[in-house]
């Protein structure tokens, strides 16, 4: 009986130690069969599995990407979707010829892109917002999905200036459906001038399959085309 009590007590102490440890950042590194490394970092209940396919990848850039994750992902989860996953895998991919993509708790960023644009660490901010969004298929227009992610990058980004990244000035050939920064600027104008909090309303509506084109007029008093007309007139 005494032995059982001691073992149980040690187990409780060990588990408490783990809980305490998880409150701070720590790393567990593992080598993969393909020669890459997987670094697991845990901080305040969030875990990042950081995979480097090229072990010689710039350590400064790697550290900055990790810091961006821990600085932006927890606040995004709290603000937009408390049910979002707590563990994210971020892979620096040597073969991917795009910029980055995210799906099902995973982010992939092109190493070639980061070698070309090492200051673009807030690509992480955009991509982890896609994980937070977690919209079911067909829940809303693709241009709005990307526009919200870039709006979030604009608002939550750590060093957009260092990447030379900003929202563009309004041009005659722009349209709200062009996605990314163009849509993000439109959303920021609506938030500032027509309906504060609209982005969160749209985000929730798409996650819950409640989005319709009528949501714009219901929330702002104008439909999409009407909003765009007022928006562009402001900059004529």
Residue spans per domain, the chain: 22-134, 136-236
Q: According to the model, what pLDDT value does residue 32 have?
A: 58
pLDDT tens for 22-56 read 444 656 555 555 667 899 999 999 999 999 999 99
Helix (H, G, I), strand (E, B) or coil at 161: helix
pLDDT tens for 173-217 read 999 999 999 999 999 999 999 999 999 999 999 999 999 999 999
Q: In the CATH hierarchy, which fold is given to the domain comprising 22-134?
A: Zincin-like (3.30.2010)
Edge-to-edge strands, sheet with 106-110: 26-31, 37-43, 46-52, 87-93, 106-110, 100-103
- Cα Rg for the chain, rounded, in angstroms? 21
pLDDT tens for 72-116 read 999 999 999 999 999 999 999 999 999 999 999 999 999 999 999
Question: Dihedral of CA 149/171/195/213: which sign?
Answer: negative
pTM for the predicted model, two decimal places: 0.86
Torsion on CA atoms 128, 130, 134, 136, rounded to nearest 10:
-160
């Amino acid at each position: 009986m005494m032995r059982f009590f001691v073992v149980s007590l040690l187990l409780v102490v060990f588990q408490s130690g783990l809980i305490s440890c998880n409150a701070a950042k720590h790393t567990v590194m593992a080598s993969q069969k393909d020669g890459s490394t997987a670094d697991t970092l845990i901080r305040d209940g969030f875990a990042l599995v950081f995979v480097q396919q090229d072990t010689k990848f710039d350590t400064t850039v790697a550290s900055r990407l990790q810091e961006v994750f821990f600085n932006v992902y927890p606040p995004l989860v709290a603000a937009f979707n408390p049910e979002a996953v707590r563990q994210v895998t971020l892979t620096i991919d040597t073969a991917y010829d795009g910029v980055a993509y995210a799906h099902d708790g995973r982010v992939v960023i092109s190493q070639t892109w980061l070698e070309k644009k090492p200051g673009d660490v807030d690509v992480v901010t955009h991509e982890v917002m896609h994980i937070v969004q977690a919209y079911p298929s067909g829940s809303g227009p693709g241009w709005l999905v990307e526009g919200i992610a870039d709006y979030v990058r604009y608002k939550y980004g750590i060093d957009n200036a260092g990447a030379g990244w900003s929202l563009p000035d309004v041009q005659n050939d722009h349209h709200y459906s062009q996605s990314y920064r163009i849509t993000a600027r439109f959303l920021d104008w609506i938030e500032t001038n027509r309906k504060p909090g609209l982005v969160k309303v749209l985000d929730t509506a798409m996650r819950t399959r409640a989005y319709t084109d009528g949501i714009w007029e219901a929330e702002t008093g104008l439909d999409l085309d009407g909003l765009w007309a007022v928006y562009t007139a402001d900059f004529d």
